[in-house]
Amino acid sequence: MNQVITDYELAKGGGEHLDQIQASGLATRLELLRNTLRPTPHVPLAMKGMNLFAKLEYVNPVGSIKDRAAYWILKRAAERGEICEESTVIESSSGNFAAALAAFTHLVGLRFIPVIDPNISGTYESFLRRLCPTVVKVEERDD
């Protein structure tokens, strides 16, 4: 069995902060959400003559590398004043990025409208429809 190592010490906080997120202002809620982004474990792979590691991105809160991008985009937009508590976030995505945005906007109290592709998987569409009151499904494929 390979030993799992992390790229930095475990962040303080995590799941226990989720109940606090809803009770504070947007900036504070986003900061509390940051505590759920844990270090990405690295697993050494057996390769002769080299040190090779696999990053286990599935340990992120929503399960993919896109979780970090979604968080930082929301955080920076809030810092720049581009979004506030009354904002609606709209994004065209049918995969991991949409799932992360849906989860994070839901947790911090922002409205999110995903614009999804007609070829979206049933799992992602169901997930988005559970978290987002409005989901726009494009009917025609892009050229």
For residues 38 and 60, the answer to whether their CB atoms sit within 8 Å is yes
Mean local confidence (pLDDT), 98-119 = 94
Residue 142 lies in a domain: no
**Edge-to-edge, what's the strand order for the sheet holding 52-55?**
5-6, 41-45, 52-55
Looking at the structure of the chain, the number of domains it has is: 1
Tell me the residue range of the domain where 20 lies: 5-137
**pLDDT value at position 24?**
56
What local confidence, expressed as pLDDT, does residue 38 receive? 84
CATH of the domain at 16: 3.40.50.1100
Q: Is residue 143 situated within a structural domain? A: no
pTM: 0.76
